[in-house]
Amino acid sequence: MKITVTDVEYVARLARLELSKAETDLFAGQMDAILGYVEKLNELDTADIRPTSHAVPVENAFREDAVRPSIGVGAALANAPDRVESFYRVPKVIE
Amino acid sequence: MDIFELTIGQLANQLKAGTVSSVEATKAMLERIEAVEPRVGSFITVTPESALAEAEAADRRIAAGDAHMLTGVPLALKDIFLTEGIRTTCGSRILHNFIPPYSATAWERLRGCGSVLLGKLNQDEFAMGSSNESSAFGVTRNPWDITRIPGGSSGGSAAAIAARQATATLGTDTGGSIRQPSSHCGCVGLKPTYGRVSRYGVIAFASSLDQVGPITRDVTDCAIMLGAIAGHDPKDSTSINTPVPDYTAALTGDVKGLKIGLPKEYYIDGLDRDVQAAMDRAIETYRRLGAEFVEISLPHTDYAVATYYLIATAEASSNLARYDGVRFGHRSPQAAGLIDMMTKSRSEGFGAEVKRRIMLGTYALSSGYYDAYYVKAQKVRTLIMGDFTRAFEAVDAILTPVAPTPAFKIGEMVDDPLQMYLSDIFTIPVNLAGTCAMSVPAGFSASGLPIGLQLIGKPFGEETILRAGHAFEQATEWHTRKAEI
């Protein structure tokens, strides 16, 4: 299936990426080549094959529900691009 | 011999004997970094002040008789490992100002041994790449030929070992990112079994594939490093709770009767002539040492790259959703609203390779394509794992090339991502199967570029491949050659 510029623009919106015209054109060609290549997986009949999400069995890891030290608000917010007191500040959402 | 030339084993002996101090070793390394860094570009951040303070503490620990093999040994880490109080960028502009509030378990364990951190090493952005050309902090060059790539994504880690800028380093391997740069730079690099080493505090690329491992001068150092970082970590739900063996005890030098598989799908037309010659010599060496060879088949090898680039990009698109400019990292100053801020921050912060992979992953996970791409790839992953399970019923280890060619020229593949992706064809299946593999120096091309062999082991079969790698190393001298830089 041919990947079009429209497809790339749609996926970029989903991924919260803003692409220039040159990037959109470039990615359309490259994604088309790569997704064309991965079509080779359709040569394999996998109807009765179970999918593998992890090479090892992954189970929920529970720990005791107990109070323990944490890094604290100051350290947690130390990398914030913008903050007010104990909060991250972001542009206004509600008009 | 200069201090910066010493292996972990050699330096540990000198530190214990008191013929050199950790402060002296650390200063020697820092001087070496300063001398060669303009030509190599291995580091993103060098930490001389904290390194010397750690070295002083290590000297006190050695004097008190409480030393581990790694006490006082100067190390460096790929910039994907969180290091408390030390900038960690993951090679990306979006994290150019990020100072982690905690450290990765792998580094905590090395620090617990008394190791000294020299700094953070260059890498492909978010570990996406095979050449170290996608870093926002510039290209790292191969110390054997600075017109060539060192490999990726742990290219800075391998180049730093080849250029003698650290005694040992840590990298991460999602599709070959420890083994391929190790091969291209003449180092030993080990990707442990998935779950053997904690990924806590390691910036995630593709969570079901990423694994932490050492890059070192020789196999003995590799065993020492693995022993220090391996083991269960309750902070990582994918960490496996099985005992950690003494990996150095596995280095017996004996491979008599070891059954080694040669997968016919790896020895193909188009394999570089020098790489093929190195493999032929390696097989002959192992035969002389008493190993037995068996031809095996890994029939789904040809589907591994396609499978990998669907699974890895899908997981990456999910993992990298956290970079939204809200809590940390780059925030665009010119946004009109919340969504615009996130979009602009990501667009300004990510480089081309990362954007391309996020786009591919988002596409593969999007409505209507999830089953056709992502689930299909997960099913083929099951087939690839089955190939290895069947192969290991007949053999103890598998011997293959690490990469189809020696290191290529900087810029040679930048415009052809598919061709770049195909250069990982021999390493990717191991990540999909979750088992362990190691790159060991096995020769040089006619133009003087290192070539590595790959030993693939059973799940948790690190001892076997370390033993086989060590035996090969004892019988050859490839690992003793030095890059003139």
Question: Which of chain B's residues have a Cβ under 8 Å away from the Cβ of A1?
Answer: none
Q: Are B357 and B128 in contact (CB under 8 A)?
A: yes
Residue-wise pLDDT for B266-281, tens only, equals: 998 778 999 999 999 9
- Cα-based angle B319, B160, B358 (whole degrees, multiple of 5): 20
Mean pLDDT of B121-143: 97
User: What sign has the CA pseudo-torsion B186, B6, B165, B120?
Assistant: positive
Which residue out of A18, A35, A38 would a mutagenesis test of the B interface target, given it has the greatest number of B Cβ atoms within 10 Å?
A38
> In angstroms, what separates the C-alpha of A51 from chain B's closest C-alpha?
4
Output the pLDDT for position B415.
Answer: 81
**Strands B259-263 vs B211-216: parallel, antiparallel or unpaired:** unpaired
Question: Which of chain B's residues have a Cβ under 8 Å away from the Cβ of A59?
Answer: 237
Provide the CA B381 distance to its chain's centre, in angstroms. Answer: 22
Interchain pair A17, B346: CB under 8 A: yes
Output the pLDDT for position A1.
Answer: 67
Question: Which of chain B's residues have a Cβ under 8 Å away from the Cβ of A80?
Answer: 327-328
Q: Is the pLDDT of residue B419 over 90?
A: no
Q: How far apart are CA B61 and CA B70, in angstroms?
A: 11
Interchain pair A30, B418: CB under 8 A: yes
> In angstroms, what separates the C-alpha of A67 from chain B's closest C-alpha?
16
Q: How far is CA A5 from CA A1, A8, A24, A28, in A?
A: 13, 5, 6, 6
User: What is the enclosing helix (H) or strand (E) of B259?
Assistant: strand B259-263
CA-nearest residue to B339 within chain A is: A16
Residue B113 exposed, middle or buried by CB count within 10 Å (0-12, 13-18, 19+): buried
> In angstroms, what separates the C-alpha of B458 from chain A's closest C-alpha?
12
At position B337, the amino acid (one-letter code) is: G
Residue-wise pLDDT for B22-77, tens only, equals: 999 999 999 999 999 999 999 999 999 999 999 999 999 999 999 999 999 999 99
Bridge partner residues of B444 (DSSP) = B450
Q: How far apart are CA B95 and CA B323, in angstroms?
A: 9
Interchain pair A51, B375: CB under 8 A: yes
pLDDT averaged per 10 residues, chain A (length 95):
92 97 95 95 97 85 88 94 95 82
Model-level pTM?
0.97
> In angstroms, what separates the C-alpha of B443 from chain A's closest C-alpha?
32
**Does the structure's ipTM exceed the value 0.90?**
yes
Question: Which of chain B's residues have a Cβ under 8 Å away from the Cβ of A38?
Answer: 306, 309-310, 373, 377
User: What is the enclosing helix (H) or strand (E) of B265?
Assistant: none
Which residue out of A13, A41, A86 would a mutagenesis test of the B interface target, given it has the greatest number of B Cβ atoms within 10 Å?
A41
Interchain pair A52, B378: CB under 8 A: yes
Closest Cα partner for B438 from B183, B135, B240?
B183
Mean pLDDT of B236-264: 96
Output the pLDDT for position A94.
Answer: 79
The mean-pLDDT minimum among A46-50, B146-150, B332-336, B401-405 falls in B332-336
Q: Which residue has the higher pLDDT, B420 or B102?
A: B102
Residues of B classed as catalytic: 78, 153, 177
Q: Are B227 and B113 in contact (CB under 8 A)?
A: no
Q: Is the pLDDT of residue B159 over 90?
A: yes
Residue-wise pLDDT for B362-414, tens only, equals: 999 998 899 999 999 999 999 999 999 999 999 999 999 999 999 999 999 88
User: What sign has the CA pseudo-torsion B414, B418, B424, B430?
Assistant: positive
User: What sign has the CA pseudo-torsion B458, B172, B314, B234?
Assistant: positive
Interchain pair A50, B382: CB under 8 A: yes
Q: Are B104 and B82 in contact (CB under 8 A)?
A: yes
Q: How far is CA B160 from CA B77, B139, B321, in A?
A: 10, 13, 31
Interchain pair B359, A12: CB under 8 A: yes
Residue-wise pLDDT for B347-376, tens only, equals: 999 999 999 999 999 999 998 899 999 999
